[in-house]
Structure 1
């Protein structure tokens, strides 16, 4: 039996782990002729911890995220991925990626780094990748190693 993925979601946050996951997701998208979803979730829980709502925080976070995601999109297209979509959302990354975004876009593979930027959250309540693995309805690839160049 041959497994074919049609829609691959890669979670990106600017970390080195996310960059490795992105590179593997690009290779898989090309191999499977699959749509690639570049997903970044602005973590609204962090802003709530600051104590008060500040629209400037979200505006800056959105601008930074869109800049990063557009760079990733350009790289994927240069590598030959023909269908790349950028998804920016707000909320809890672990919940939004595993449930909301994956279901909305009929994702059949989620690619994520083993760890991301938020070490404190990982220590206190578990990593985003662990949550995605436990709660996603589709296959999940946790990337720990660098993509080999042939």
Structure 2
């Protein structure tokens, strides 16, 4: 018997890998039946704003509005692909805990589909990988997306070299 997933969480951070996770999540949701729900989330890491001396709430509002527009576009794309039950939210706090624990508990998530990376190398060293934390601590299944829609490596050698030159 095949595993059936009914509530799929896809964290969206604007990275190429999170977009691939979203596109693959559409396919997984379609295979699991029309009652499968797709939950999209963007987490605004409030710790990033704590270090700004002239903290202005308009910055958070701008980030929130951009995230809402992006998520709304993704939700529309999922609906056009035939997913009937799609929702999205913008959350505030520590992305690791919100993605691995809070939302899965609240929405009864049984699968998290997350991009392999989203931060640059320096940020991963300093604050750790959200993906790594989610795979280690989430109580539901986690699928880490590393390949494109044709199951070829998402990051080609040329892209990796370009990222290294840019310090990513």
2:117 pairs with 110, 115, 122, which one?
A: 115
Residue ranges of structure 2 left out of the alignment (5+ in a row): 152-168
Deviations 1:4-23 (A, max 9, x none): 00100001011101110000
Q: Following superposition of structure 1 onto structure 2, how do residues 61-140 of structure 1 map, counting pairs within 5 Å?
A: 61-140=63-142
Q: For the aligned residues, what is the CA RMSD?
A: 1.4
Aligned to 1:57: 59
8 A contact 2:68–2:89 mirrored in 1? no
Displacement over 6 Å in runs of 4+: none
TM-score (norm 2): 0.84
| Superposition map of 1:28-39 within 5 A | 28-33=28-33, 34-39=36-41
Q: Which moved more, 1:121-130 or 1:17-26?
A: 121-130
Structure 1, gaps ≥5 residues long: none
**TM-score, scaled to structure 1:** 0.94
Residue aligned with 2:51, SS: helix
How many pairs align?
A: 149
Q: Is the 8 A contact 1:13 1:117 kept in 2?
A: no
Instruction: State the alpha-carbon separation in 2 of the partners of residues 101 and 45 from structure 1.
Output: 19
Radius of gyration: which is bigger? 2
Between the two structures, name the one with larger relative contact order (CA 8 Å, sep ≥ 6): 1
